[in-house]
Amino acid sequence: MEKYLLAPLLISKLGQDDGFRSCFSRLLKALAAVGAVAALIVFFLGWKELFEMSSEGMIGGIIYQLTFAVAAYLAVHFTLLRAAEAKKSAPGRPAALSVAVVVLRLAGEAWGFASALLGSGAAVYVWFAGREARVLLKKMAVFFPFLKASPASFTGGAALIVQGLLYGALALLLGYLLSELLQLLPASGSSEEGAAEQ
């Protein structure tokens, strides 16, 4: 009877290293698909907002939309690449630790590059559109709060570039630093060998 139930099958699969990596790899692929669809929806909704703006605002909005498209593409592509990496086995490393390393690097890469690109695109948008830019920027402020806080001025746009680059660099550094720290943990194989030698 248990072989027909879903929960025991999932627990059994997750208990195996290859099964655990395979499940997380598929989860990351699903996340990439959902992210791509969500990005397309936000992208097309953004064009709807642009058509209601002044001509100057539309110029800045187009540039922002292009940077958003590049950021979304990079995030989806990074996720697919890391999904393939998560499926590979790391000798002497527990499956959960290997997957955690991949996820941390992915988080740093996706958020870091998106912050840098959106900060630069939003700056140009603010310079052209002024206060009109807030209508479109607030849609992404949930994930990138610094986009919402900037005033509609030249210095506010410059601040967006600096904040985007700074937060992006910090996110990338933090993601890679945490992943490197995880890799410094003693591997199960080496710890067993050390115990046997003693």
Q: How many residues make up the chain in this entry?
A: 198
pLDDT of residue 10: 64
Query: Residue 78: which domain range?
Result: 18-184
**Share above pLDDT 90 across residues of the chain, in percent, rounded to a whole number:** 44
pLDDT of residue 91: 67
Give the chain's domain count.
1
Residue 2 within a domain:
no
Residue 198 within a domain:
no
Longest dimension (CA), the chain: 76
Residue 190 within a domain:
no
Give pLDDT tens digits for 64-107. 999 999 999 999 999 999 999 988 866 667 888 889 999 999 99
Residue 189 within a domain:
no
Give pLDDT tens digits for 157-184. 899 999 999 999 999 999 999 999 988 8
Residue 6 within a domain:
no
Residue 11 within a domain:
no
Residue 195 within a domain:
no
Residue 7 within a domain:
no
pLDDT of residue 39: 93
Distances (CA, A) of 100 to 79, 104, 112, 137, 169: 14, 6, 18, 32, 20
Identify the residue with better confidence: 78 or 7: 78
